[in-house]
Amino acid sequence: MGRGRQKAKHTKVARELKYFSPDTNYDALERELTGHDHLDDQRVPDLDKWAEYVEDDGTQGRSAV
Domain ranges across the chain: 24-51
- For 38, residues 6+ apart whose C-beta sits below 8 A from its C-beta are 31
Q: Whole-angstrom Cα distance, residue 40 to residue 32? A: 13
Q: What pTM did the predictor assign?
A: 0.33
19-54 per-position pLDDT tens digit: 988 888 999 889 999 886 655 555 556 667 777 777
Classify 13 as helix, strand or coil: helix
